[in-house]
Amino acid sequence: MNKLDLSGVSAMPSQVWGGIRLVPLVREAPVAGLRLHHEIYRHALGAVDVGPRTRYLSYIPHGFIADWSGDGGQSAAYGTQLAGSAPTGTDCVPIRLHHGLAKRRRQKGVTEKRLRFLPLHLALEGYLALHFGGPSVIWDEWSQAAVRQGMSPRAEAAYAGWQVPGLGQALRIFELHPRQCGVLVYTADALAAAFVVPHPDDYRALHPSLIEDLYGELVHQYAFYGGPVPAFDARIGGERHIRSLADLRAAARAQERSWTENHDALMANRLLNPSYHFERVYRMGEFGLWRFLPSFGRGEPEQHIGEAICDHKGRVAYLKTFRLSEAQIRRGHLLNGLYDHDWQLNRTAQALGIDRGQLVGRIHDAGFSSLLKHGVERAGRR
């Protein structure tokens, strides 16, 4: 599988607040056999053990519980909660330790058909782990630290949803459609994120979590500097054919269908048609939890990473995406080029159509100069 299949999901007319455009997504029918619940963490700064001597540290305000037991019961509590006494502690930032980004739930020694995973962090960890081990062959150009430690640590910047101008207001003021199972978030009419769940009740519970999600640097810039975007307006022509309320209703619905068809084509070009590299994280009965990375092609300015739960036919039941900035795409493209040519600088530079010195400069600009020996890095920057 290398494509996203959103069969049965269609777009409704958009809702606009300033530079934010929300496009509701509805399903023809809920996905049978899968539900999503919310789990709130008291402390948002979290550390996750992802491997031997490897830890993922990030802003983790909540987790999702995937339930494929079929009963759909026992959802996690959501919202304001009152405590009997004020919490006490030192003036420091507490860290919540998780064991694994996706972990099967156990209760009284019995393994349940429930999986706790950290939304978006699966996708971000996949991007950060891209060729994380560093050079696979010890060429003369690479430092001993690169050989022993790889690209440790790796870090990327992101913004919480409440830091994206206008997003909080848009999420708060717009009503949800009865069959709404997802949303596309645009800033300055650039696709920022996609969020899809299996059931309308799941979306109603998880809709507020969008304000706590992570968004890329480009998304924040577009929302901050971009101006208002045009709202959806239905313009009905040929008024002489409108002779009753039924005619008016049919004409309005035709306008909605036209908008949906045009937007579905746009969504396909931006999100569904590109090819992705999928990695399965966990098997859940007839469903599988996957994360995916784009091709990192330099000619494709809009690229997304993400995670998805798909059924045995590859149809998406759950989806959450994160739009990469141009700098993040360049880093992925550079790492793929080095990996494809066994980390040899001369071969990689030739494949990229540049000389060795320019390649060393790109490695430095991408923040990977610590992988190179000092003499090689200095020579490349002259």
Q: Which candidate, 314, 79, 30, places its Cα nearest to that of 196?
A: 30
Find out whether 280 and 127 touch, Cβ atoms under 8 Å. no
Confidence at residue 340, expressed as pLDDT on a 0 to 100 scale: 92
Instruction: Give pLDDT tens digits for 285-316.
Output: 889 999 999 999 887 878 999 999 999 889 99
Question: Taking 80 as the threshold, does the pLDDT of residue 88 lie above it?
Answer: no
Q: pLDDT digits over 230-284, tens only?
A: 887 777 766 567 778 888 888 888 888 887 788 878 787 888 888 999 999 888 8
Q: Phi, psi at residue 364, to the nearest 5°?
A: -65, -45
Alpha carbon distance 182, 337 (integer Å): 35
Residue 84 reports pLDDT greater than 50: no
For residue 236, what are the contacts with CB-CB under 8 A and spacing of at least 6? 242, 248, 251, 252, 255
247 in Cβ contact with 239 (< 8 Å): no
Distance (Å, whole) CA 290 – CA 299: 26
Residue from 306, 317, 302 nearest 278 by CA: 306
Q: At what angle do helices 326-340 and 356-365 cross, to 10 degrees?
A: 130
pLDDT digits (tens, 9 = 90+) for 127-150: 888 888 888 777 888 888 777 777
- pTM of the prediction? 0.82
For the chain, where are the E strands, in sequence order?
Answer: 9-11, 15-17, 20-27, 35-40, 45-51, 54-59, 62-67, 96-99, 102-107, 110-117, 159-160, 180-187, 190-196, 214-215, 277-284, 287-293, 304-310, 316-323
Residue with tokens 């009865």, as numbered in its chain: 178
Rounded to an integer, the average pLDDT of 185-192 is 91
> Residue 85 pLDDT more than 90?
no
* Token pair belonging to 212: 């706590």
Q: Is 48 exposed, middle or buried (0-12, 13-18, 19+ CB in 10 A)?
A: buried
Rounded Cα gap, residues 198 and 33, in angstroms? 9
Task: List all residues 6 or more positions away from 367 whose beta carbon is below 8 Å from its beta carbon.
Answer: 331
38-71 pLDDT per residue, tens: 776 655 656 666 666 666 676 676 677 888 776 5
Structure tokens at 172: 């708060």
